[in-house]
């Protein structure tokens, strides 16, 4: 009853969960629950931020092993919710392959908010954080405009280069430069507050917190990987802003 | 006045992040209220504690319990609400300043800022973990009581 095709579907679900933003422990837990539901003898799952690997031992002595390499994340919590429901459904009703395929296809159609909405969201977040950290209304407005520019730059950069570090250096440099000019021309008063609003959109603060959470709860490898990723990204952003500061003479720090 | 502005903008920022993470429908509102809650608790705790990491710990703890309750109500994973709700607490600014000092090779400032950033991140992570463990204990106790009652009937 359990075979390689089924294991492949189960791993697909796990992979999509990890990409959509599930915790490591949730991915491992869901995969082993789904396998165990099909009455296998033993399941070994290893999940770290970039790889999922599963070995399944059957009662008749057969062993299946498969793995998935995860290269990029796209947080999509609505999709995660649906995947979670599907995995519970599989555990309780043991459906056939066609059913799982159909459901997965349906879930993979799940789209994030539209690009236009994303421009507004970037403006909203950047503006809110500028005011949150003590900027005035003019700063908030400037920050919101620069937030939209940031979204545009991120989109453009992603088309040219997939390397996240380079994208971050480029975007933070451009945002830093524009913010410096904006303040020099009297559009907004506090450069630092305008920058911090946009920084909150780029900086991996949440990844840093998650990495420590992983480490404390026992997923040390994943925690360390995510931690070093977060520090690298933060450094690249600081580099970009630092470069803008040196070239265009705004005063930071 | 500053606090009210902060609480309001924390709400908006959490709403924005929830949309970035593709949370849909009424759950957006729950996540945004979580952001408002996390910063309010942090400010309230500040009135009687003067220890920033501990304030963040308490705020992270409360907002995790809030997210667990919301997850129960909406029958979704806690992850739907927690990342966006916790955003106002996340030390993105502090992390950025540490790296800024590192890039400018100001070693002393870099070290003290990094330790400060790390202390906040650890406080938040500890708050989340403690709250989710306590919530698990509570659910287990609840299940135990329910099954006991059923047997009694």
Choose the weakest-confidence range: A209-223, B56-70, B106-120: A209-223
Q: Closest Cα to residue B43, out of B3, B82, B73, B84? A: B3
Asked whether the beta carbons of residue B80 and residue A129 sit closer than 8 angstroms, the reply is no
Residues of chain A with Cβ-Cβ distance to B115 below 8 Å are none
Portion 98-137 of A in contact with B at CB < 8 A: 110, 112-113, 117-118, 121-122, 124-125, 127-129, 131-134
Q: Which pLDDT tens digit goes with each residue over B19-48?
A: 999 998 899 999 999 999 999 999 999 888
Q: How many CA atoms lie within 13 A of A75 on its CB side?
A: 17
Asked whether the beta carbons of residue B129 and residue A200 sit closer than 8 angstroms, the reply is no
Q: For the packed helices A205-216 and B92-103, what is the interaxial angle rounded to 10 degrees? A: 100
DSSP annotation string for chain B: -HHHHHHHHHHHHHHHHHHHTT--THHHHHHHHHHHHHHHHHHHHHHH---HHHHHHHHHHHHHHHHHHHHHHHTS-GGGTHHHHHTTTS-HHHHHHHHHHHHTT-HHHHHHHHHHHHHHHHHHHHHHHHHHHHHHHHHHHHHHHHHHHHHH-
Q: Is A53 in CB contact (< 8 Å) with chain B?
A: no
* Other beta carbons within 10 Å of A55: 16
For residue B138, give both structure tokens: 């509570």
Tokens 């003019």 map to which residue? A138
| Average pLDDT score over chain B | 90
Mean pLDDT by 10 residues, chain A (253 residues): 88 93 89 91 91 92 92 88 92 88 89 89 94 90 93 90 87 91 86 88 84 84 89 90 80 47
The partner residue sitting opposite B13, judged by closest CB among A23, A112, A132, is A132
Q: Check residue A250 and give its pLDDT.
A: 52
* CB-count burial class (<10 Å; 0-12, 13-18, 19+) for B146: exposed
Contact assessment for residue A40 and residue A56, using Cβ atoms and an 8 Å cutoff: yes
Q: Check residue A253 and give its pLDDT.
A: 42
Contact assessment for residue B13 and residue A132, using Cβ atoms and an 8 Å cutoff: yes
Q: Which pLDDT tens digit goes with each residue over B131-153?
A: 989 998 998 998 888 888 887 76
Contact assessment for residue A209 and residue A23, using Cβ atoms and an 8 Å cutoff: no
* Other beta carbons within 10 Å of B141: 10
Q: Closest Cα to residue A152, out of A202, A115, A113? A: A115
Ramachandran angles phi, psi of A55, nearest 5° = -120, 135
Q: Closest Cα to residue A252, out of A195, A169, A188? A: A195
Q: Closest Cα to residue A142, out of A120, A127, A128? A: A127
Q: How far is A37 from A134, CA to CA, in rounded Å? A: 53
Strand pairing report for A42-48 and A63-69: unpaired
Q: Check residue A251 and give its pLDDT.
A: 53
Instruction: Please report, rounded to a whole number, the percentage of residues in chain B having pLDDT higher than 90.
Output: 57
Tell me the average pLDDT across B97-111. 88
Q: Check residue A252 and give its pLDDT.
A: 46
Q: Check residue A169 and give its pLDDT.
A: 92
The partner residue sitting opposite A209, judged by closest CB among B96, B103, B124, is B124
Q: What is the distance of C-alpha A80 from the center of its chain?
A: 12
Asked whether the beta carbons of residue A75 and residue B125 sit closer than 8 angstroms, the reply is no
For residue B100, give both structure tokens: 């800024």
Mutation for B interface: A30, A77, A217, most B CBs within 10 A: A77
Distance from CA of A58 to the nearest CA of B (A): 31
Distance from CA of A91 to the nearest CA of B (A): 17
Asked whether the beta carbons of residue B99 and residue A212 sit closer than 8 angstroms, the reply is no
Residues of chain B with Cβ-Cβ distance to A251 below 8 Å are none
Residues of chain A with Cβ-Cβ distance to B88 below 8 Å are 132
Q: Which pLDDT tens digit goes with each residue over A32-41?
A: 999 999 889 9
Q: How far is A34 from A10, CA to CA, in rounded Å? A: 7
Contact assessment for residue B86 and residue B66, using Cβ atoms and an 8 Å cutoff: no
Q: How many CA atoms lie within 13 A of A230 on its CB side?
A: 26
Q: How far apart are the first and last CA of chain B?
A: 56
């Amino acid at each position: 009853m359990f075979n390689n095709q089924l294991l492949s579907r189960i791993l697909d679900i796990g992979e999509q969960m990890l990409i959509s933003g599930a915790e490591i422990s949730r991915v491992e837990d869901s995969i082993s629950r789904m396998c165990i539901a099909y009455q296998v003898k033993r399941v070994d799952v290893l999940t770290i931020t970039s790889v999922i690997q599963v070995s399944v031992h059957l009662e008749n002595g057969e062993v299946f092993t498969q793995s998935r390499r995860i290269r990029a994340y796209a947080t999509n919590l609505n999709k995660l919710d649906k995947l979670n429901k599907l995995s519970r459904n599989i555990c309780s009703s043991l459906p056939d392959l066609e059913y799982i395929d159909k459901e997965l296809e349906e879930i993979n159609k799940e789209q994030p908010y539209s690009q236009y909405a994303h421009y507004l969201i970037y403006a909203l977040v950047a503006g809110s954080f500028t005011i949150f950290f003590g900027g005035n209304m003019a700063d908030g407005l400037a920050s919101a405009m620069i937030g939209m520019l940031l979204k545009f730059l991120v989109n453009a950069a992603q088309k040219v280069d997939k390397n996240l570090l380079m994208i971050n250096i480029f975007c933070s440099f451009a945002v830093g430069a524009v913010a410096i000019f904006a303040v020099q021309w009297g559009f907004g008063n506090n450069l630092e507050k305008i920058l911090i609003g946009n920084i909150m959109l780029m900086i991996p603060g949440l990844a840093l917190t998650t990495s420590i959470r992983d480490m404390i709860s026992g997923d040390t490898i994943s925690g360390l990987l995510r931690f070093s990723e977060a520090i690298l990204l933060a450094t690249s952003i600081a580099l970009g802003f630092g470069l803008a500061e040196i070239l265009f003479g705004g005063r930071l720090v | 006045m500053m606090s009210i502005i902060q609480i309001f903008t924390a709400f908006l920022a959490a709403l924005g992040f929830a949309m970035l993470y593709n949370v849909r429908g009424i759950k957006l509102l729950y996540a945004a209220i979580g952001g408002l809650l996390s910063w309010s608790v942090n400010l309230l705790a500040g009135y009687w504690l003067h220890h920033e990491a501990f304030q963040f710990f308490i705020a992270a703890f409360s907002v995790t319990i809030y997210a667990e309750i919301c997850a129960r109500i909406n029958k979704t994973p806690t992850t739907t609400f927690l990342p966006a709700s916790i955003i106002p607490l996340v030390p993105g600014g502090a992390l950025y300043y540490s790296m800024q000092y590192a890039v400018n090779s100001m070693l002393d400032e870099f070290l003290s800022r990094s330790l400060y950033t790390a202390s906040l991140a650890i406080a938040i992570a500890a708050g989340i973990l403690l709250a989710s463990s306590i919530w698990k204990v509570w659910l287990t106790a609840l299940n135990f009581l329910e099954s006991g009652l059923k047997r009694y009937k």
